[in-house]
Amino acid sequence: MLTILTLSLTLPQSANADKGYRYWGYFQASAGASTWTAAMTGPTTTLKDGDVEGWTFTASSNDIPATEPMAAPDFASLCDGTSEVAGKIRVGIVVDFGTANIAPSGENPKEVITDCAVVPAKSNGLAVLESVAKVRADKSGLICGIGGYPATECGVEIDMPTTDEEPLTATGSNAEENEGSASEEISGAFDWSEILAIVLAIALAFSIFVIIRIRKK
């Protein structure tokens, strides 16, 4: 019974998965900035030398925010060794293809792109992105795919992956640990019962012995 109780506590508490959307998130860091800022517009803003552009394939919902690119917007590192060119600007760029738990079925995330784009002055974010990867967009201008990832979808609704570190199902090593703990607890209970039975038996035998001695007198 204890094993059944332990397993029931590891089952999902709700069958309703959190709904969200999977898409390419867009982030920026102005020259000199050390942290990412979520872009408030599409990649149409005119950039300047020293800026950093960030893209990450992410998923978010009302309760779970979009993730930033895993690489920091470090212009000095991204454009290390890239000299200034007259009439052009240097823009650091990071393209993070996300994690496997949000990858479309049958697809695998690609390696993160970290580069330094040298583009004509007054170029925007789209021009910088197109300088390092092939871009697929829909009619509204929404960026649907970068470097062929994902292959066809564009901003689809999904069941958000769980953020729990521990599995919620009674499978694998955790289930074995739970079952082991339960077995140990039950085993311990049996040990104490056996000890108690022996003590009671000894006490009963001693009582009988005393009664017999008294009657003989």
Q: What are the residue ranges spanned by the domains of the chain?
A: 19-159, 171-217
Backbone angles phi, psi at 90, to 5 degrees: -105, 130
pLDDT in the model for residue 148: 98
- 122-156 pLDDT, tens digit per residue, is 999 999 999 999 999 999 999 999 999 999 999 99
What is the per-residue pLDDT across 56-105, written as a single tens digit (0 to 9) for each? 999 999 999 999 999 999 999 999 999 999 999 999 999 999 999 999 99
Nearest residue to 141 via CA among 22, 47, 21, 42: 42
CA distance 210 to 92: 95
What is residue 191's predicted lDDT score, i.e. its pLDDT? Answer: 52
Query: pTM of this prediction?
Result: 0.68
pLDDT digits (tens, 9 = 90+) for 157-186: 999 987 653 333 333 444 444 445 444 444
